[in-house]
Amino acid sequence: MDYFNAFWVGGLICALVQILMEKTKLLPGRIMVLLVCVGAVISFFGWYEPFVEFAGAGASVPLLGYGNILMKGVKEAVSQSGFIGLFQGGFKTGAVGCCAALVFGYLASLVFKPKPKK
């Protein structure tokens, strides 16, 4: 049942984003920022953890999950360091995902030999 819930929740998120892309004139970069911000807001209210428990990877892998990770880091850092934690928390928790994206993107560019657009 865990796989099924992850599949349909992740698919629903992707379908809603696709509809948003088709029906609005928002650029993909803005939609990505919107998803991260929505994930952070949902996490702020404490609603994201029960969502992740229900949907597993279907909720934690999309960009909504990245917003959740950033917000969790900010909450921890604020409780430990006070106001300065607002600036520290997101970097500490989001660093692994960003580094992995950079490393794997670089490795893919070595394997597939990208060419510039003409």
pLDDT of residue 13: 92
Structure tokens belonging to residue 55: 């949907």
pLDDT of residue 86: 85
Burial category of 74 from C-beta neighbours within 10 Å (exposed 0-12, middle 13-18, buried 19 and up): buried
**What is the pTM for the complete model shown?**
0.76
Closest-CA residue to 72 (of 55, 49, 53, 52): 49
pLDDT of residue 59: 85
- In the predicted model, residues of the chain with pLDDT beneath 70 are none
pLDDT of residue 116: 79
pLDDT of residue 21: 92
